[in-house]
């Protein structure tokens, strides 16, 4: 969005997650006033923090990759590029509960050659499986993720047809696809899975370099975002529940009507399907078909360090990815706070905490020998039952565009048709698209008013 003077108007944004925040900031940069109406007492949507026992805890571990240009652009808007840490080079240690693990580290060669040394030295695959993985990667790079036919197939089935045996799928492909799409490889739609692999792994050599927040998400996406929006003249109404959107346009907020020149609905698809007027999106009932996929985060505080890296991955274990949260949480006194991120967590979402404790503490001890000698000072679980929509075959056809049949009403959110899976990057891209369409609508509205139409 350029900083040039643009059309004027009052824009109501329903929802204060990343999509709504991005929409507001992008509009304000062009001189358009925006008000965010958020039902919760905070901004940030699915990315937020809370306090527990003197620690600042994120509801879940969120990461981004260097290829996430829109999200990094949001960080720049917030003046927060120095509040995240990004790898100098993609480098992930992969642990197993039995025997030595492996390591995936990119080279400095152009893509996709940058991954060849990593695969060549990946001890968790046999030499034959490494060669098959290279061949599958080249075939995957030739797919068109926008081909509707790919939306009807699974990534796991496609890989099996390319000679990828179970060990290769578990130790390589599932490691990344499950984390990126929040769905298991055998259930993931081929289109978005291919898009993720192409964009992050097979094109730019630095695309997959991993970034993690260096401050709590509540500060990054909440406090900083609120300050930036209000400093630019925007308004944030917290505890403001929107229950209806009518022609006018007009919203009903906490039971009272509020007028606007344009409205952006930036809430999850489950809420949007009942809030958006039928005349705006006649197919809105189909959005419920997107379903949801859960994420469970296991939080463990030890009395001493047990992990000497910022994060690791694991296979052959209920543990998937483990992050050192000690510094960002404010833990002092020599202990260590680890967060285990479990994607596609249908199996665990309703499991009692006591059972999760027994399973995951034992699993962590198998991965980290130092954990066997450490004392657990705290253990708790956070559950995101509707963390993402379910990115299974057929889901792509259900994702709506930002524009609706009402010229003043727009959709935003990672569940809309962004070209990306349901991620922070997708949410930010949806906000940028909504802001562009709102600005065009206001410009056309101003032109019509001036010309008397």
pLDDT one-digit tens code per residue, 438-452: 999 999 987 766 666
DSSP SS3 for 252? strand
Please give the structure tokens belonging to residue 210: 């991993």
> Are 311 and 323 within 8 A, CB to CB?
yes
Q: How many CB atoms are closer than 10 A to CB 265?
A: 28
Res 367: pLDDT: 97
Q: Residue 2: what pLDDT?
A: 42
Residue 131 has pLDDT above 60, yes or no: yes
Residue 1 confidence (pLDDT) above 50? no
Cβ neighbors of 341 (< 8 A, separation 6 or more) are: 60, 61, 179, 295, 297, 320, 321, 322, 323
pLDDT, residue 36, reads 98
Question: Within 10 Å of residue 354's Cβ, how many Cβ atoms?
Answer: 9
Confidence of residue 111 (pLDDT cuts 50, 70, 90): low
Find the angle CA(215)-CA(218)-CA(224) to the nearest 5 degrees.
Answer: 80
pLDDT at residue 108 greater than cutoff 80: no
Question: How far, CA to CA in Å, does 161 sit from each of 51, 156, 174, 188, 453?
Answer: 48, 9, 16, 15, 59
Is a pLDDT exceeding 50 seen at residue 5? no
Question: Does pLDDT of 236 surpass 50?
Answer: yes
Tell me what pLDDT residue 119 has: 87
CA distances from 191 to 175, 263, 349 (A): 17, 31, 27
Q: How far is CA 151 from CA 145, 159, 195, 415, 453, in A?
A: 8, 15, 11, 15, 43
pLDDT at 404: 98
| Predicted local distance difference test score (pLDDT) of residue 115 | 80
* pLDDT of 4 over the 50 cut: no
Question: Model confidence over 279-328: pLDDT tens digits?
Answer: 999 999 999 999 999 999 999 999 999 999 999 999 999 999 999 999 99
- Encode pLDDT of 174-214 as tens digits: 999 999 999 999 999 999 999 999 999 888 889 999 999 99
The C-alpha atoms of residue 56 and residue 53 are separated, in whole angstroms, by 9
| pLDDT of the residue at 6 | 55
pLDDT for the residue numbered 272: 97
What is the average pLDDT value for the chain, to the nearest integer? 94
pLDDT, greater one: 3 or 375 = 375
Least confident among 6-10, 147-151, 405-409: 6-10
Residue 128 pLDDT exceeds 90: yes
Q: Has residue 453 got a pLDDT over 70?
A: no
Confidence at residue 116, expressed as pLDDT on a 0 to 100 scale: 82
Q: What is the pLDDT of residue 282?
A: 94
Phi, psi at 251, each rounded to 5°: -115, 155
pLDDT of residue 269: 97
Q: What are 40-71's pLDDT values in tens digits?
A: 999 999 999 999 999 999 999 999 999 999 99
Please give the pLDDT value at position 450: 64
Helix (H, G, I), strand (E, B) or coil at 36: strand
For residues 159 and 178, what is the distance between their CA atoms, to the nearest angstrom?
Answer: 14
Q: Which long-range contacts (CB under 8 A, 24 or more apart) does 305-310 make?
A: 305/334, 305/335, 305/336, 305/370, 306/336, 306/338, 306/364, 306/368, 306/370, 306/371, 306/374, 307/336, 307/338, 307/368, 307/370, 309/93, 310/85, 310/212
Q: How far is CA 160 from CA 133, 136, 216, in A?
A: 11, 10, 40
pLDDT tens-digit profile of 418-445? 999 999 999 999 999 999 999 999 999 8
Q: Tell me the pLDDT tens digit for each residue of 380-421.
A: 999 999 999 999 999 999 999 999 999 999 999 999 999 999
pLDDT, position 385:
96
């Amino acid at each position: 969005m350029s900083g040039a003077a643009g059309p004027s108007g009052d824009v109501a944004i329903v929802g204060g997650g990343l999509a709504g925040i991005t929409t507001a900031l992008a509009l304000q940069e062009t001189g358009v006033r925006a008000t965010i109406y958020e039902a919760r007492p905070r901004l940030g949507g699915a990315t937020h923090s809370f306090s527990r026992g003197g620690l600042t805890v994120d509801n879940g571990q969120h990461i981004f990759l260097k290829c996430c240009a829109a999200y990094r652009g949001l960080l720049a808007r917030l003046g927060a590029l120095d509040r995240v840490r990004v790898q100098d080079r993609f480098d992930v240690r992969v642990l197993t509960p039995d025997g030595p693990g492996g390591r995936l580290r990119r080279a400095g060669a152009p893509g996709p050659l940058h991954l060849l040394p990593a695969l060549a030295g990946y001890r968790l695959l046999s030499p034959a499986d490494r060669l098959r993985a290279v061949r599958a990667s080249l075939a995957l790079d030739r797919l068109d993720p926008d081909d509707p036919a790919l939306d009807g197939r699974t990534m796991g089935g496609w890989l099996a047809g390319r000679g990828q045996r179970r060990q290769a799928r578990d130790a390589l492909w599932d490691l990344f696809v499950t984390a990126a799409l929040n769905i298991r490889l055998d259930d993931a739609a081929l289109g978005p899975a291919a898009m993720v692999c192409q964009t992050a792994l097979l094109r730019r050599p630095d695309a997959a370099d991993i970034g993690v927040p260096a401050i709590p998400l509540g500060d990054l996406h909440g406090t900083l975002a609120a300050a930036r929006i209000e400093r630019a003249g925007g308004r944030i109404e917290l505890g403001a529940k929107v229950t209806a959107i009518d022609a006018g346009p007009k919203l009903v907020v906490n039971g009272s009507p509020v007028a606007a020149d344009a409205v952006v609905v930036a809430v999850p698809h489950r809420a949007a399907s009942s809030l958006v007027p039928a005349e705006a999106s006649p197919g809105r009932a189909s959005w419920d078909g997107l379903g949801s996929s859960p994420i469970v985060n296991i939080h463990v505080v030890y009395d001493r360090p047990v992990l000497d890296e910022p994060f690791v991955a694991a296979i052959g274990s209920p543990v998937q990815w483990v992050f050192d949260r000690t510094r960002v949480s404010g833990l002092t006194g020599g202990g260590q706070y680890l967060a285990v991120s479990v994607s596609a967590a249908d199996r665990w979402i309703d499991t009692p905490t006591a059972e999760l404790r027994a399973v995951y503490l034992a699993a962590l001890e198998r991965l980290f020998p130092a954990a066997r000698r450490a004392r657990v000072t705290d253990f708790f679980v956070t559950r995101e039952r509707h963390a993402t929509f379910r990115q299974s075959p057929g889901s792509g056809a259900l994702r709506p565009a930002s524009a609706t049949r009402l010229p003043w009403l727009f959709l935003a959110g990672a569940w809309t048709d962004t070209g990306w899976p349901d991620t922070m990057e997708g949410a930010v891209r949806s906000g940028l698209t909504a802001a562009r369409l709102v600005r065009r609508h206001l410009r056309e509205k101003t032109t019509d008013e001036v010309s008397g139409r």
